[in-house]
Structure 1
Amino acid sequence: MKKSILFLSAAALLAVSCQNFKKGDGGLEYNIVKDAGSDKAIAGDFLSVDMTIKSDRNDSLLNSTYDLGLPQIVQIAGDSIPGGYKGDYNSMFRFLGEGDSAVFKLNLDTMAARTGQPKPEFADKFVTFTVKVRKHFKKGQLTDSALYGQLDTYFKGELEGLQKAEAGKITKYVADNKLEPKKTASGLQYVVTEEGKGNKPALGDTVVVNYTGKLTNGTVFDSSIKAEAEKAKLAMDPMRTFEPLRFSLGNQPVIQGWTEGLQLLTKGTKATFIIPSALAYGDRPAGQKIPPYAPLVFEVELVDVIKGQGIAAPAPAPGEIPAN
């Protein structure tokens, strides 16, 4: 299912329930939007959930499983969990079973009082969790090995779904944006939007690059340009100085799609790279925005090319004699 549809579904859950919250223990407020009548989770169980987390300050989105395209696996802890209390994060999921959906407002004043930890700076009084349960894994009489085996099989299936969907995501992005990209033997696709006039970089040269990176669904995950980062409402590190990225091509690690793609551009060129996951992060997620098997789109500008000394020789292995 597409991220946009799922995210709208989460927003709809929040909208229909915002006036119907009940009071629970520890200041927790909740509304069960859908009760599927299934068994509710108990200690030792696991839930696979789709979830968004929002702050009550400017209604800002803190995290979303929909960005990764993967559910979150939540373990239901016992009552004796250190730092736990009635109305905490773990308490929320005990209201839920397979097929259920709900909205919870976690009281930060209670959390601070019960745990002795300061309130987070990103919210005022509440953090809101909008949750839909995909699957309930019941511990019951299962051994830990059997239960974890079920979870492993389930998650591998989710990953296979993302892998199978990748080619379609690239095709759709190209079609939706009416692009006519060139394609290299590795699978990298690129479109030059403004041709430069300088030299092309070679391995070992230092390149200076402005960029904005996003998923094929439009979610921006990083940018070297402050205006673009603000437009995308990215979390802003007050210590970050927004400036072009400078690195030695082939000597300092970047994703393979960049190493290959930048060598195709002349100084001053602006281009769009469409990079398959095999040339990016593969089957690994990267941060909270980039899921496994994610094709990436980069709008890049090759600001400068500085002649280098070539690729540095690898350091000799322990006991190995360097070549003369």
Structure 2
Amino acid sequence: MKKSILFLSAAVTLLATAACQNFKKGDGGLEYKIVEDAGGEKAKAGDLLSVDMIVKSDRKDSLLQSTYDIGLPQIVNIAPDSIPGLYPGDYNSMFKLLGEGDSAIFRLNLDTMAAKTGQPKPEFADKFVTFTIKVRKHFKKGNLTDSALYAQIDQYFKGEIEGLKKAEEGKLAGYIASNKLEPKKTASGLQYVVSSEGSGNKPAVGDTVVVNYTGTLVSGKVFDTNNADIAKKNNTFNPMRQYEPIRFRLGHDPVIQGWTEGLQLFSKGTKATLLVPSSLGYGERGGGAIPPYAPLVFDVELVDIIPGPKAPADSTANN
């Protein structure tokens, strides 16, 4: 994680520096600056690139996407120019200027994109979307069959995911150290820090709990929250969603194991941070914005506890 964060910081600094410099002009209004040319063969139609990429719009607080948030590269398929909708200077064109080890900054012209594709300009930008790209690996199609090429990709990602598995413990330890936390730890590996102690009984399996929460990766990336203000601030807001406390029945409704265990540790009104290893979270598969083997951080508030139905009395007790 430390390496990724350092690279992200360097990439963002590089982007800010390059913004003050002249970009070269390409086809279709595309502007670009090759930051590093490793001298390798450039990508062709049919090839695939494994890239780290930061995508920003030309507005304030404009980060749209970053592969550094999840720690896995993105695979880009270089399409033939003959495919309808493609044009010189588009997204596909950018990657044809790159090979393995190269890095560059591109500004994609949205006016040209709208004119060439007949599609409206996206609402999240005014004129440009900026891509800061570092190519990790170049997979060359050549005479390979599609199945042989994608077998290489599959093997490559198995190695990347194995790297995430080996790095998980260090990521969580780094998060704890950098935030100066002193968590308690359960036998399962769940860790937690109580910031505000509640009172009264603690929930048990069968009870319904009502919870405010924000979930982040250890990088700080928010992937889910029931707080509308936090969602808007972190570009995860969904206007179709009702932002209200989540409620579920412990041990009955499907939530991650870290929640089922962790919430039973707290009384009503408690505010705490749960540090959830992937074995108690989304495991080796991940889900959505959560990568495989991702330790998770949840800031939770146990708003209410609704006792579950009592078990019927044993009718044989008096026999």
Q: Do these two structures clear the TM 0.5 threshold for a shared fold by scoring above it?
A: yes
Match of 1:303 in 2: 303
Per the TM alignment, residue 52 of structure 1 is displaced from its structure 2 partner at its CA by 0.5
How far is 1:258 from its partner?
Answer: 0.4
CA contact (8 A) 1:205 1:310 kept: no
Structure 1 residue 259: Cα displacement: 1.0
Q: TM-score, normalised by structure 2?
A: 0.91
Could you say which residue in structure 1 is the equivalent of 2:223? 221
**Aligned partner of residue 96 in structure 2, secondary structure:** helix
Tell me the secondary structure at the aligned position of residue 265 of structure 2: coil
Deviation, 1:169, is 1.4
Structure 1 residue 227: deviation in Å? 4.2
Match of 2:159 among 157, 160, 167: 157
Q: Is 1:55 matched with 2:51? A: no
Alignment of 1:1-324 (within 5 A): 2-18=3-19, 19-58=21-60, 60-230=62-232, 232-288=233-289, 290-309=290-309
Name structure 2 gaps, 5 residues minimum. Answer: 312-319
Query: 1:317 — aligned with what?
Result: none
Alpha-carbon distance between aligned partners in 2 of 1:223 and 1:45, rounded to the nearest angstrom: 38
Letter in 1 for 2:257: Q
Q: How many residues align?
A: 309
d(CA) in 2 for partners of 1:126 and 1:59?
Answer: 14
Structure 1, unpaired ranges of 5+: 312-324
Q: 1:308 Cα shift?
A: 2.0
TM-score normalized with structure 1 length: 0.90
The structural deviation recorded for 1:310 is 7.3
Judge which range, 140-149 or 122-131, deviates more: 140-149
String of CA shifts for 1:236-280, please: whole Å, max 9, x gaps: 223444322122222321111101111111111121111001111
Amino acid at match of 1:171: A
Superposed CA offset, 1:3-39 (max 9, x none): 3212112213313322221111111111111111110
Contact 1:270 1:302 in 2 (8 A): yes
Structure 1 CA distance, aligned partners of 2:61 and 2:300? 31
Question: Are the counterparts in 1 of residues 223 and 236 from structure 2 also a CA contact under 8 Å?
Answer: no
CA RMSD, 1 decimal: 1.8
